[in-house]
Structure 1
Amino acid sequence: MHKIPTIDVGIMSADQIQFCFNDLFQLSNGPKEMEGEQVVRIENGMLKLEAAGIAASELLFTPLDAENAAFELKDVIIGVNFHWEQKENQQFKGALKLIIENEKITAINVLPLESYLISVISSEMSANSSLELLKAHAIISRSWLIAQIEKQEQLTETTAKYESTFISESEYIKWYDREDHVNFHVCADDHCQRYQGVTRAHNPNVVRAVNETSGVILSYDGKVCDARFSKSCGGIAELFENCWEPVHHPYLTAVVDNPQLPAGFEQDLTIEKNAEKWIAAEPEAFCNTHDEVVLKQVLNDYDWSAKDFYRWTVEYSQAELSDLIRRRSGIDFGDILDLIPVQRGTSGRLVRLKIVGTKRTVTVGKELEIRRWLSESHLYSSAFLVEKVQGENDLPEKFVLKGAGWGHGAGLCQIGAAVMGHKGYKYDEILTHYFKNASLEKRY
Structure 2
Amino acid sequence: MKQIPLIQVGIQFKETIEFTLHGQYKTNAGIALAGHYKAVKTNGGITLSDGSEEISLQSGIGINPESPDAYFTLHNVTIGINFHWERDEDQSFKGGLKLILENDKITAVNVLPVEDYLMSVISSEMSATSSLELLKAHAVISRSWLLAQIEKNQSLQSNASEYQSVFESDDEFIKWYDREDHLNFDVCADDHCQRYQGITRATTEEVEKAVRATWGEVLMNGDAICDARFSKCCGGMVEKFENVWEPVNHPYLQAFVDNDADPAGFKFDLKTEGNAEEWMRGTPDAFCNTTDKEVLSQVLNDYDQETNDFYRWEVRYVQSEVSELIKKRTGIDFGTIQEMVPVERGDSGRLIKLKIVGDKKTLTIGKELEIRKALSESHLYSSAFIIEKEEADGQLTFVLKGAGWGHGVGLCQIGAAVMGAKGYDYNAILMHYFRGAELNRKY
Distance 2:365 2:43 in 1: 41
Q: Hey, what does 2:10 align to over in structure 1?
A: 10
Please report how far the alpha carbon of residue 261 of structure 1 lies from its aligned counterpart in structure 2 after TM superposition.
1.0
Distance 1:162 1:117 in 2: 29
Q: Hey, what does 1:188 align to over in structure 2?
A: 189
For residue 178 of structure 1, give the secondary structure of its aligned residue in structure 2. coil
**Would you identify which runs of 4 or more consecutive aligned residues in structure 1 move more than 4 Å?**
none
Please report how far the alpha carbon of residue 59 of structure 1 lies from its aligned counterpart in structure 2 after TM superposition.
2.6
For residue 53 of structure 1, give the secondary structure of its aligned residue in structure 2. strand
Distance 1:95 1:255 in 2: 42
1:257 lines up with 2:258 in the alignment: yes
Cα-Cα RMSD: 1.2
For residue 301 of structure 1, give the secondary structure of its aligned residue in structure 2. coil
Q: Hey, what does 2:59 align to over in structure 1?
A: 57
Answer yes or no: is the 8 Å Cα contact 1:240–1:248 preserved in 2.
yes
Report matched runs for 1:73-152 at 5 Å.
Answer: 73-152=74-153
Cα distance change on mapping 1:392 and 1:356 into 2, 3 Å: farther
Please report how far the alpha carbon of residue 231 of structure 1 lies from its aligned counterpart in structure 2 after TM superposition.
0.4
For residue 184 of structure 1, give the secondary structure of its aligned residue in structure 2. coil
Cα distance change on mapping 1:55 and 1:146 into 2, 3 Å: closer
Q: Hey, what does 1:168 align to over in structure 2?
A: 169
Q: Which has the larger displacement, 202-211 or 53-62?
A: 53-62
Answer yes or no: is the 8 Å Cα contact 1:350–1:367 preserved in 2.
yes
Cα distance change on mapping 1:105 and 1:112 into 2, 3 Å: same
Please report how far the alpha carbon of residue 391 of structure 1 lies from its aligned counterpart in structure 2 after TM superposition.
6.0
- One-letter amino acid matched to 2:26: Q
Q: Hey, what does 1:417 align to over in structure 2?
A: 416
Q: Hey, what does 1:349 align to over in structure 2?
A: 350
Report matched runs for 1:35-74 at 5 Å.
Answer: 35-50=34-49, 51-65=53-67, 67-74=68-75
Distance 1:350 1:397 in 2: 23
Answer yes or no: is the 8 Å Cα contact 2:45–2:56 preserved in 1.
no
Report matched runs for 1:20-419 at 5 Å.
Answer: 20-29=20-29, 31-50=30-49, 51-65=53-67, 67-390=68-391, 397-419=396-418
For residue 325 of structure 1, give the secondary structure of its aligned residue in structure 2. helix
Percent identity over the alignment is: 59
For residue 370 of structure 1, give the secondary structure of its aligned residue in structure 2. helix
Distance 1:182 1:113 in 2: 18
Distance 1:32 1:151 in 2: 35
- One-letter amino acid matched to 1:56: Q
Distance 1:255 1:92 in 2: 39
Please report how far the alpha carbon of residue 416 of structure 1 lies from its aligned counterpart in structure 2 after TM superposition.
0.2
Distance 1:57 1:139 in 2: 34
For residue 368 of structure 1, give the secondary structure of its aligned residue in structure 2. helix
Q: What do residues 106-148 of structure 1 show as CA deviations (whole Å, max 9, x unaligned)?
A: 0000000000000010111112200000000000000000000
Distance 1:410 1:148 in 2: 16
Number of aligned positions between the proteins? 440
Answer yes or no: is the 8 Å Cα contact 2:122–2:128 preserved in 1.
no
Q: What do residues 323-379 of structure 1 show as CA deviations (whole Å, max 9, x unaligned)?
A: 000000111111111111111011110000011111111001000010000000000
Please report how far the alpha carbon of residue 52 of structure 1 lies from its aligned counterpart in structure 2 after TM superposition.
4.6
- One-letter amino acid matched to 2:177: Y
For residue 110 of structure 1, give the secondary structure of its aligned residue in structure 2. strand
Answer yes or no: is the 8 Å Cα contact 2:283–2:312 preserved in 1.
yes
Answer yes or no: is the 8 Å Cα contact 1:47–1:58 preserved in 2.
no
TM-score by length of 2: 0.97
Distance 2:174 2:392 in 1: 31
**Unaligned runs of at least 5 residues, structure 1:** none
- One-letter amino acid matched to 1:408: H
Distance 1:329 1:419 in 2: 37
Distance 1:63 1:232 in 2: 39
Distance 1:376 1:53 in 2: 41
Please report how far the alpha carbon of residue 58 of structure 1 lies from its aligned counterpart in structure 2 after TM superposition.
2.9
TM-score by length of 1: 0.97
Distance 1:76 1:297 in 2: 25
Distance 1:140 1:208 in 2: 16
Cα distance change on mapping 1:157 and 1:399 into 2, 3 Å: same
Answer yes or no: is the 8 Å Cα contact 1:117–1:142 preserved in 2.
yes
- One-letter amino acid matched to 2:399: V
Please report how far the alpha carbon of residue 82 of structure 1 lies from its aligned counterpart in structure 2 after TM superposition.
0.9
Answer yes or no: is the 8 Å Cα contact 1:311–1:404 preserved in 2.
yes
Please report how far the alpha carbon of residue 57 of structure 1 lies from its aligned counterpart in structure 2 after TM superposition.
2.8
Please report how far the alpha carbon of residue 392 of structure 1 lies from its aligned counterpart in structure 2 after TM superposition.
8.0
For residue 160 of structure 1, give the secondary structure of its aligned residue in structure 2. coil
- One-letter amino acid matched to 2:317: Y
Distance 2:187 2:120 in 1: 14
Please report how far the alpha carbon of residue 281 of structure 1 lies from its aligned counterpart in structure 2 after TM superposition.
0.2
Answer yes or no: is the 8 Å Cα contact 2:128–2:202 preserved in 1.
no
Answer yes or no: is the 8 Å Cα contact 2:98–2:111 preserved in 1.
yes
